[in-house]
């Protein structure tokens, strides 16, 4: 196809950063380059250095966040976490990987984000946290989520995989809250090739996560950052090989330097062009979001109404325009079928309407105009 739904935006600067690590540093695992990336992320977000724990994927960051809330040993029923069913399966997999149970919640049809009234119906004594997902880069009602969590005695794990660079009420996502997880995979707002990050506002959780990403060898992160190893280790908790390598960190450092001046303006301008080009279509709706100058759109899902989704996708495919569907509800997946004990009508309805259009900084305005013309023709 002539257009790409999404793609990595990398070039000579990222290639030179990788060359430097390979040729000049020579150590490819977690080390000084990873430490520098964490320092730069902390400075960009305006948080303390100890709050940043990078990982090899966004899913790993979510797993570390969930695990950091758990006692060293727990018995009886697994703890539960409230999570919207309309999300990438990574959200659910991270919960079960850490030994907890996801509780699938319904979403708001205008935003695709968690419906707190529905979440409240699913509360019981085993629920320890809520995981709002900033679907399509939208931290919708995040203040209400934190208020809900305080009233119910829950922790908050933000799945902010789509939302790096976004703001809420002029505060950067990741600069406030409880536990916030970003993804830096190949098509996100910045990429490390593969990567992720946990921002923790709890020192105990941060320390646990920093160790857990290196097999829970106590203090090994600081040893690696100093260029040494822990040769007399102790391990008291479950751990994983979830660390971010120097090579991936080198790519991430270049990408972070490009975010404010290049990626954020490009993504917002492309979204604005789409909004203008798709305005007035009776059977197409953009999702409702926080103010657009606070959003850095990662994907562009639209609602195709009145049962026209499949025909719309087919019409665009005939014009060599790729589309996607973000996402199939997790409570429909075999492994997570039991997570939805009550109906989730809004989530299921929205899945029947959602179509994702191409969006990434490699698109031109002419590309967007072409997609809009095809969309208008398909719905004429």
- pLDDT score, position 222: 86
**Picking from 10-19, 33-42, 218-227, which range would have the lowest pLDDT averaged per residue?**
218-227
Query: What whole-number distance in Å separates Cα of residue 64 and Cα of residue 239?
Result: 9
Entry field: residues in the chain: 380
Is the confidence at residue 1, as pLDDT, over 50?
A: no
**How many other C-beta atoms lie within 10 A of the C-beta of residue 365?**
11
Kindly indicate the confidence band of residue 186, based on its pLDDT and cuts at 50, 70 and 90. Answer: very high
pLDDT beyond 70 at 235: yes
| Beta-bridge mates of residue 158 | 180
> If you ran DSSP here, which 8-state letter would residue 217 be given?
B
User: Domains, the chain, ranges and CATH?
Assistant: 12-253 (3.40.640.10), 259-378 (3.90.1150.10)
- The string of pLDDT tens digits covering residues 105-141 is 999 999 999 999 999 999 999 999 999 999 999 999 9
Q: Which two tokens stand for residue 132?
A: 């709002």
Please determine, for residue 74, whether its predicted confidence score (pLDDT) is greater than 70: no
Kindly write down the DSSP assignment for every residue of 50-63, as one continuous string.
GGEEEESSHHHHHH
Locate 73 and state its tokens.
């040993």
Give the number of other Cβ atoms within 10 Å of residue 377's Cβ. Answer: 11
Mean pLDDT for the chain overall = 95
Start-to-end CA distance of the chain, whole Å, equals: 23
Q: How far apart are CA 136 and CA 190, in angstroms?
A: 15
Selection from 14, 15, 20, 44 nearest residue 32 by Cα: 20
Percentage of residues of the chain with pLDDT beyond 70 = 99
For tokens 């600069």, name the residue.
175
Measure the CA–CA gap between 364 and 16, rounded to whole angstroms: 26
Average pLDDT (201-214) is 96
Predicted TM-score (pTM) of this structure: 0.96
């Amino acid at each position: 196809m002539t257009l790409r739904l999404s793609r990595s935006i990398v070039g000579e600067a990222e290639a030179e950063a990788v060359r430097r690590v390979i040729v000049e540093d020579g150590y490819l695992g977690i080390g000084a380059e990873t430490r520098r990336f964490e320092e730069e992320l902390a400075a960009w977000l305006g948080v303390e250095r100890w709050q940043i724990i990078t990982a090899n994927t966004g899913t790993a960051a979510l797993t570390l966040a969930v695990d950091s809330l758990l006692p060293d040993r727990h018995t009886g029923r697994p703890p539960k976490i409230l999570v919207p069913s309309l999300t990438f399966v990574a959200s659910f997999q991270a919960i079960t990987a850490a030994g907890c149970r996801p509780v699938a919640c319904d979403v708001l049809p205008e935003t695709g984000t968690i419906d707190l009234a529905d979440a409240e119906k699913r509360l019981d004594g085993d629920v320890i946290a809520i995981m709002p997902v900033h679907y399509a880069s939208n931290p919708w009602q995040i203040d209400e989520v934190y208020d809900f969590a305080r009233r119910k005695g829950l922790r908050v794990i933000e799945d902010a995989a789509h939302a790096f660079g976004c703001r809420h009420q002029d505060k950067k996502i990741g600069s406030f809250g409880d536990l916030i997880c970003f993804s830096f995979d190949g098509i996100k707002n910045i990429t490390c090739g593969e990567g992720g990050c946990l921002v923790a506002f709890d020192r105990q959780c941060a320390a646990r996560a920093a160790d857990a990403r290196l097999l829970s060898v106590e203090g090994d992160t600081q040893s690696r950052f100093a260029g040494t190893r822990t040769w007399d280790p102790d391990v008291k908790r479950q751990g994983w090989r979830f660390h971010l390598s120097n090579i991936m960190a080198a790519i991430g450092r270049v990408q972070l330097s490009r975010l404010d001046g290049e990626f954020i303006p490009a993504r917002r301008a492309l979204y604005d062009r789409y909004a203008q080009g798709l305005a007035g279509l009776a059977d197409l709706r953009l999702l409702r979001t926080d103010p657009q100058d606070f959003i850095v759109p990662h994907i562009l899902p639209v609602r195709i109404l009145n049962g026209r989704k499949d025909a719309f996708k087919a019409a665009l495919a005939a014009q060599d325009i790729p589309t996607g569907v973000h996402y199939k509800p997790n409570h429909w997946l075999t492994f997570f079928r039991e997570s939805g004990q009550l109906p989730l009508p809004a989530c299921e309805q929205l899945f029947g309407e959602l179509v994702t259009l191409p969006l990434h900084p490699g698109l031109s305005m002419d590309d967007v105009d072409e997609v809009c013309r095809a969309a208008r023709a398909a719905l004429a």
